[in-house]
Structure 1
């Protein structure tokens, strides 16, 4: 019995390190993509991501305090992963990217090692804040509906780009 426990412990530690490396790599790749975008492009992403956040919060999924939320209820991470997969299958890449904003944000609640990269992500996203209103008009032209962007200028708790 002891040997099985030791093997499970070794496997568990290996899997944990692998998962952290994978999540770091995915988040850094996303941040690199944001860094290559201009403010208007990020404004569109932020408008869609904020609409998504407001919709999920209406459904009871709290996304703006990941460090508190995820240890209590990790289901938003699973929901977001599923959403990303579905959006990618349907080739809705702007929606997939918006869901990635929240997946990477929520992962910080489970993996504090990701917090620094998440702050950089939100710094990049903040470049789009001045463009959200214009992007909302663009979304309206395409979909016939304005995205719900209230709160777009807020940062998730613990992830302000410049901590004070």
Structure 2
């Protein structure tokens, strides 16, 4: 009984922290113009495609059907990836990773769904510009944009549609 109470308190604390972090992220992306949102959508899509293709995250997690433990482990993985992007001074990559980190958190904390819907509403502003931004990224990196990214930039995570 005490163990359950402690676990509930810890979970409530984690959820409150996740909500605060998501609100900071939402405020930041609301301040972005549509071209910046297009770039964020393109970068987040490339990160998702790369993670799916290279096994960085389980396919079940990306499909929204993972176990609570898989979602927690994936959140930890994304947190570490974001920190690595930040260390390398790659703010757009870090922001792209945050899109998926926050999306994953909704799976463990359904209370965050409403706020995440707001995040995706903002991200949708970038959908019309995503293909243009893929071209810019390809020009900068010299790497061809994967077809799955070109076809999947308007992908919405489970529970967001």
**Structure 1 length-normalised TM:** 0.85
**Deviation of 1:138 (Å):** 1.5
2:76 aligned to which of 69, 75, 78: 78
2:49 aligned to which of 47, 54, 58: 54
Structure with the largest fraction of helix: 2
Cα separation, partners in 2 of 1:23 and 1:71, compared to 1, 3 Å? same
Q: Which deviates more, 9-18 or 125-134?
A: 9-18
Q: Larger radius of gyration, structure 1 or 2? A: 1
Q: Contact 2:63–2:157 at 8 Å: present in 1 too?
A: yes
Alpha-carbon distance between aligned partners in 2 of 1:78 and 1:121, rounded to the nearest angstrom: 20
SS of 1:127's equivalent? helix
What is the aligned partner in structure 1 of residue 16 from structure 2?
21
Cα separation, partners in 2 of 1:9 and 1:154, compared to 1, 3 Å? closer
- 1:1-164, aligned counterparts within 5 Å? 6=2, 8-60=3-55, 61=57, 62=59, 63-66=61-64, 68-71=65-68, 73-74=70-71, 75-148=73-146, 149=149, 150-160=151-161
**Deviation of 1:81 (Å):** 0.8
Alpha-carbon distance between aligned partners in 2 of 1:133 and 1:54, rounded to the nearest angstrom: 15
Runs of 4+ in 1 over 6 A off after TM superposition: none
CA RMSD of aligned residues (A): 1.8
**Deviation of 1:70 (Å):** 4.4
**Deviation of 1:124 (Å):** 0.6
Alpha-carbon distance between aligned partners in 2 of 1:41 and 1:70, rounded to the nearest angstrom: 34
Alpha-carbon distance between aligned partners in 1 of 2:145 and 2:38, rounded to the nearest angstrom: 12
Q: Contact 1:70–1:109 at 8 Å: present in 2 too?
A: no
**Deviation of 1:13 (Å):** 3.3
**Structure 2 length-normalised TM:** 0.86
Alpha-carbon distance between aligned partners in 2 of 1:82 and 1:127, rounded to the nearest angstrom: 28
Stretches of structure 1 that go unaligned for 5 or more consecutive residues are: none
